[in-house]
Amino acid sequence: MKIYSGIVLASVLSASLVCAENLTQANVEKANEVIEAAVEVFGGDDRLSDISSIVVQHESVNVAVGQSHKAEPPWDRNPTAGITAVDLGNGRFVTKNSGSGSGFEFDNGTIIDGEASAQLDYRAGTFATIAEPDFDTASGPFMRVTPAMLVRQVRDRAQNAYYLGETTVDGEAYEVVGFSMAVGPAISLYFEKDSHMLRRSERVLPGFGLVEYRFHDYEIISGIPFNKKFELYLNGDQNVVRTNLKTRVNVPLDDLMIAESSLRELPAVVADELARHDIAEGVYLIGGNGTYAMFVEMDDYVIAAGGAAGISDRIELLREVVADKPVKYGVLTHHHFDHVLGVSVYEEEGATVVAAKAHENVVREAADNGELLNLETVNDRMEIRDSSRRVQVIDIGPTAHTEHLLVTWLPEEGILFEADHFSMPRAGSVGPAVTSTRTFAAALKENGIQPRLMLSAHSPRPGTMQDLQESLNKGVVMVSKE
């Protein structure tokens, strides 16, 4: 995948560092100098250390870059609203959000609070205990968009901070310090050279590219600057615009940390380990961590369906049962960036990538060498067959989620693979259908497809037509948020 950066450091190290007798020591000293100046601007050591909790009520517009209904701009703009809070002293975190977009309606939340940690789904009226809560992973996105928390963390982790140099962006001079947070790739912080305010940060996510954060409209709360607005850019494209409507510091969080009594309990959420599931003779669903691919064994080769993250690991697990047959086809469901991550893996395997005709440009851009990519496009449907079975790839779009959607259909076995439209929960019964699920069901009917089993790119659990109908029949639960 190509990565584009609109920000280029004017120099990796300033002239004073280049001339220093000991470059490493000079770098550490310069990083600490920048950090100390920023700490003072953000209220000083004592005030930053005294922050015990932060509560932010916010509303956002998510610009669906690479996630829109169509494969090209203008991108869909989807509204969300919610509240996020962190209890730093006790390692507690909560976020609750509602909104819609890409054919989905959601009203949910996450609570990280030791044994009381839970995932909440207000539309379905359910909650599930989180068996292995992880405060750092759950709270990380909030920390990265809260400058005061970034300054506090870089102060506390100064031993692994490094000075990157000076640069000018949009006419403003910055000093840049990088460091590693508790989880995720390293992040670079852009401090204004004159004011020492944190205005920007950025990091590179493998497979996704450059993520930039921009902080605006500071206000002083409890002696500390907090941003009232931030923007997130993905590879140079605006992706999120958030307005912080109200920020409170050092207030009790107990009322937010409770799963409402009207919610129905589901089985606990446990780790989704990488695993292989035998669906039928020569048909496997392989994945973990929320992403799955289907593999279909033919006489002399294998057909893979799905292009989400981790395809190489899934192929490796396939080799334990199908060691001697190459992956000849890699079928992509649709153009969203999280579903074309497997293109370069299929390219390396020497497979032919199969995609909707309208998604050709997106797929070639996701490849290591797009011009030479072996790509076969589908306008309506294609069929692959040999003496053992036949496999159909059918464009059943449009749906509410995407203009074109390729499903992989095994008509004799009655097995269908799809992405993002109907995903069984890992435990418990299905929830009420969202708009994308309703349009998916209508598309299956229009194309005369009646699956015995439906496999999803985001669940290890196959669904049935009965499950789908149950979801369609369920109404949204009206939960009183106490």
Which whole number is the average pLDDT over 307-313? 95
Please say if the pLDDT value at position 20 is more than 80. no
Task: Tell me, yes or no, if the pTM score tops 0.85.
Answer: yes
38-69 residue pLDDT tens: 999 999 999 999 999 999 999 999 999 999 99
Helix or strand or coil: residue 440?
helix
Strands 415-418 and 406-410 come out as: antiparallel
**pLDDT tier, 13 (very low <50, low <70, confident <90, very high otherwise):** very low
**pLDDT tier, 464 (very low <50, low <70, confident <90, very high otherwise):** very high
Q: Which two tokens stand for residue 132?
A: 């292995």
Mean pLDDT estimate for the chain: 93
- % of the chain beyond a pLDDT of 90: 88
359-373 residue pLDDT tens: 999 999 999 999 999
* Cα–Cα dist 117/206, whole Å: 29
1-12 residue pLDDT tens: 333 344 444 444
- Find all residues with CB under 8 Å of 171, minimum gap 6, and list them: none
Closest Cα partner for 244 from 285, 216, 203?
216
**Predicted pLDDT at 3:** 37
153-178 residue pLDDT tens: 999 999 999 999 999 999 999 999 99
Which whole number is the average pLDDT over 281-307? 97
**Predicted pLDDT at 125:** 94
Length of the chain: 482
Least confident of 259-273, 387-401, 453-467: 259-273
**Predicted pLDDT at 413:** 98
